[in-house]
Amino acid sequence: MPWLKGYWGRQFARPHGLGGKIATFVMNRMNTAMYDAVYENISEGGHILDIGFGNGFTLEQLLKIFNGTFYGIDISGDMIRSATKRNRKAIQSGRLTLAEGSADAIPFTQEFDCIYTVNTIYFWPDLDAGFREIRAKLITGGIFLNVFYTKEMLDKLRSADRGYNKYTPEELKKAAEDNGFTAEIIPITEGRSYVVRAVK
Ligand SMILES: C[S@@+](CC[C@H](N)C(=O)[O-])C[C@H]1O[C@@H](n2cnc3c(N)ncnc32)[C@H](O)[C@@H]1O
């Protein structure tokens, strides 16, 4: 059923309603190795930003195990509500601030020590504009962690047939370097999922 695969593809791109709750629940279970890659490569402390936090699951885990002040942006109003509910205490205590925004328009004025994003790169409307904005919002020496599935892996997924920009690790390393970062590729599962760790 082509409409069904299109429906789920759109739910991963911008989750909303009941379908969004189901999609994010599935993501949280499927993507644990990707979240672990964030925990392993993050620079602890300071100001840390999650771009496209979905239901706020990764932020919830990070708040438990790391020091620092956390921020998050997402383009989906439903995801902001869902992540707010999940992380209410951290928001009330001032350790977490969530806002509507996109990778190429980060609505915070302060600089960040670390910015990370998991499974959002496919949906950025303008790759270079996203990298430029992230670099502008990092301190010198700040780290950007881009965690993603490869083109090779996504080409096998029917739900990713339309609406996904798919990249190889080399393409995303080059995009980071073209925008002024020093970058390295860190495999999570060879051929399938990677982190590009970029330093300003
Ligand atoms: C596949 S989900 C990943 C959610 C979360 N990072 C995770 O791994 O559990 C993609 C998320 O990125 C958000 N998103 C899509 N395009 C975005 C953009 N240009 N800037 C910021 N967030 C975006 C979507 O609304 C959605 O919540």
Query: Is 90 exceeded by the pLDDT of residue 4?
Result: no
- The helix/strand/coil state of 16 is coil
The rounded Å distance from CA 120 to ligand 1 centre is 5
Give per-residue pLDDT as tens, 122-133. Answer: 999 999 999 999
Which residue has better confidence, 163 or 136? 136
What is the C-alpha to C-alpha distance for residues 115 and 99, in angstroms, rounded to an integer? Answer: 15
pLDDT at residue 3 in the model = 60
Give per-residue pLDDT as tens, 24-56. Answer: 887 887 889 999 999 999 987 899 999 999 999
Which residue has better confidence, 95 or 27? 95
Contact 170, 11 (CB under 8 A): no
Q: Please, what is the average pLDDT of the chain?
A: 93
pLDDT at residue 131 in the model = 98
Contact 165, 172 (CB under 8 A): no
The rounded Å distance from CA 194 to ligand 1 centre is 17
What is the C-alpha to C-alpha distance for residues 198 and 131, in angstroms, rounded to an integer? Answer: 10
Contact 41, 105 (CB under 8 A): no
Atom of ligand 1 nearest to the CA of 123: 16
State the average pLDDT over residues 10-36: 82
Which residue has better confidence, 15 or 57? 57
pLDDT at residue 1 in the model = 57
Q: Which residue's C-alpha comes closest to atom 10 of ligand 1?
A: 120
Q: Is the pTM of this model over 0.85?
A: yes
Percent of the chain with pLDDT over 70: 97
The pair phi, psi for residue 139, each rounded to 5°, is -70, 160
Query: Is 90 exceeded by the pLDDT of residue 70?
Result: yes
What is the domain partition of the chain in residue ranges? 2-199
The rounded Å distance from CA 53 to ligand 1 centre is 6
Burial (0-12, 13-18, 19+ Cβ within 10 Å), 167? buried
What is the C-alpha to C-alpha distance for residues 12 and 25, in angstroms, rounded to an integer? Answer: 11
Identify the band that residue 2 occupies on the pLDDT scale cut at 50, 70 and 90. Answer: low
R_g (Cα) of the chain, nearest Å: 16
Identify the band that residue 23 occupies on the pLDDT scale cut at 50, 70 and 90. Answer: confident
State the average pLDDT over residues 156-168: 91
**Among 74, 98, 117, 153, residue to substitute to test ligand 1 (most atoms within 8 Å of Cβ):** 74
How many other CB atoms are found less than 10 A from the CB of residue 23? 24
Q: Domain 2-199: which topology?
A: Rossmann fold (3.40.50)
Instruction: Please give the structure tokens belonging to residue 43.
Output: 């620079």
Q: Which residue's C-alpha comes closest to atom 12 of ligand 1?
A: 52
